[in-house]
A and B are shown apart, each in its own frame.
Chain A
């Protein structure tokens, strides 16, 4: 078990990220709150606890890398990057605005800390495999983490990357599946089901772990175990709730790509603040 102080700290960070997601999408008038909220705890543990990185030196060679393959969840990533100090928190209100360093989907050329441009689904995981391969070539000790969606898992290119990573024994690569059960048109199970998902990743040569993606302890421990896997990449299948933390967004498919209005922002923030 994690020390209570550490766990509290991380929960508070995750809560702050959630509040930022609401404020940012509310201010932008568009964006993807649902999938940002479901990924908030995983992103928090990576950036505020697990990854070895230097926000003041984003290109530091020894850094662990993170690739947000489900790029539409970038409000959560941007909030984490800002809170870490990659750039000024003041930038957050410029999400999705003309000329902003915070584009509607991650842009590695504009945003310090964004490793790979994503937004078109499926492309991040193979790119993460490429980064892990480079780490192997260079005999570097850093790790590469990535996060994909369950709907995103329908893309063929995800599985091309999966096969490649296992074939090349990329044990310096750890992926998360944000398994929230929803995509845009409805339930993943009703559109094109991806189950049995753990068995699929195992069949593709990956070590798998199944966790509660909102349980800080679970996320921390699974990362430690995944890092220790030898000879193959690891997939952490995280059961999550789309819209997690905001009652009226939770498990609501319509909150995939719609921003909250002012009243909804206030209500969401009130709920999140009470949760602190």
Chain B
């Protein structure tokens, strides 16, 4: 990307999309109820609290209880959105999410923020690196990882109409806006091909999508044409798009800011290894805990960069 283009980039945290979508949903649908667990400012659900105080409930620092209450509300006809940090929503509350919400296919949407290593200075206890794995493993749970704030907002709005639970992974740190708010449409289970190429497919989610685009540009300068796919929905996987791309390029790199154990790379390789086996490399965190640091330092330290994507892609192409 040119220096000029970089200057024109705008940045938002995906969590801002959550707060904005909730406001619209609150006005459109009187059945929408929002719960939080003492993090309403951080998750941005505080805006909903201000406008719809009778439909907002702060459950206190009690994530398991919050999920139980949400299940009961949903079983009584409400459409619930629950906020917390991804660590506590999927970690502490895993079992009520699995056994009450998902087992009952209830309309409880989990939209926790502060996912991934980019939580930064709070350190490992607050950096959910396993949440995609956990949520993906639950039958019937839909898993969405928005790449920017626009996508996040549309995904949250769509979740209100999707039957059963949806997990939407949101981040704390601002990331580049890559979608066009005018034309963007969210569709569950549909990936977007952001750049076409014939040599290698890069399948990315969340903030790694921007890195993937940067990597593709750098690769193009070296004569390698990378196809960049914003996966958006990890589950259900957009099999058609992934299959078509893998058939065309014959090589796939996946990129996520999450552990490599059971995450996006796993989801893609589980599918491809059985349907279109091809060389595949994964960018993500190699089964380690995080630590304190600035988001940028941490992304570099754990190899979650355009550079890392480029290197893996190059290696696949040259071997």
Contact = CB atoms under 8 A, between A and B. Distances in A.
B291 A154 contact: no
B75 to A, nearest CB: 21
A246 B281 CA distance: 53
A74 B76 CA distance: 42
A105 B123 contact: yes
Nearest to B49: A185
Nearest to B88: A120
A119 B38 contact: no
Contact of B61 (A30, A99, A105, A155): A155
B92 interface: yes
Contacts of B60: 151, 154, 183, 188, 191-192
A31 to B, nearest CB: 8
B41 A96 contact: no
Interface string A169-192: 000000000000001111010011
Nearest to A94: B292
Nearest to A32: B122
B61 A104 contact: no
B15 to A, nearest CB: 15
B62 A192 contact: yes
B292 A119 contact: no
Contacts of A122: 61, 92
Nearest to A152: B61
A1 interface: no
Contacts of B294: 98
Given A103-B291, A151-B60, A185 B39 contact: yes
Nearest to B62: A154
A197 B39 CA distance: 23
Contact of B122 (A104, A183, A188): A104
Contacts of B141: none
Interface string B31-55: 0000010111110001000000000
Contacts of A183: 38, 60-61
Contact of B58 (A29, A118, A185): A185
B91 A192 contact: no
A208 interface: no
Contacts of A151: 38, 60-61
Interface residues of B, number: 32
A119 B126 contact: yes
Interface residues of A, number: 32
Interface in B59-85: 59-62, 64-65
Contacts of B123: 96, 103-105, 107, 119
Interface in B250-281: none
Nearest to B45: A185
B59 A192 contact: yes
A188 B58 CA distance: 11
Interface string B118-132: 001111111000000
Contact of B124 (A96, A97, A103, A192): A103
Contact of B38 (A96, A97, A185): A185
B36 A185 contact: yes
Contacts of A107: 123-124
A191 B58 contact: yes
B92 A120 contact: yes
B167 to A, nearest CB: 19
Contact of A105 (B40, B122, B293, B298): B122
Contacts of B46: 185
Contact of B292 (A97, A184, A185, A191): A97
Contacts of A191: 38, 58, 60
A62 interface: no
B125 A119 contact: yes
B87 interface: yes
Contacts of A31: 121
A73 to B, nearest CB: 13
A97 to B, nearest CB: 7
Interface string B232-251: 00000000000000000000
B26 to A, nearest CB: 18
Contacts of B121: 28-31, 96-97, 104
A35 B21 CA distance: 32
B121 to A, nearest CB: 4
A222 interface: no
3 nearest A-B residue pairs (beta carbon): A119-B125, A192-B60, A98-B293
Given A156-B62, A184-B41, A192-B59, 9 more contacts: A104-B123, A105-B122, A119-B124, A120-B126, A122-B92, A152-B61, A154-B38, A183-B60, A185-B38
14 contacts: A30-B120, A30-B122, A71-B125, A98-B293, A99-B293, A103-B124, A104-B125, A104-B292, A105-B123, A154-B38, A184-B38, A191-B38, A191-B58, A192-B62
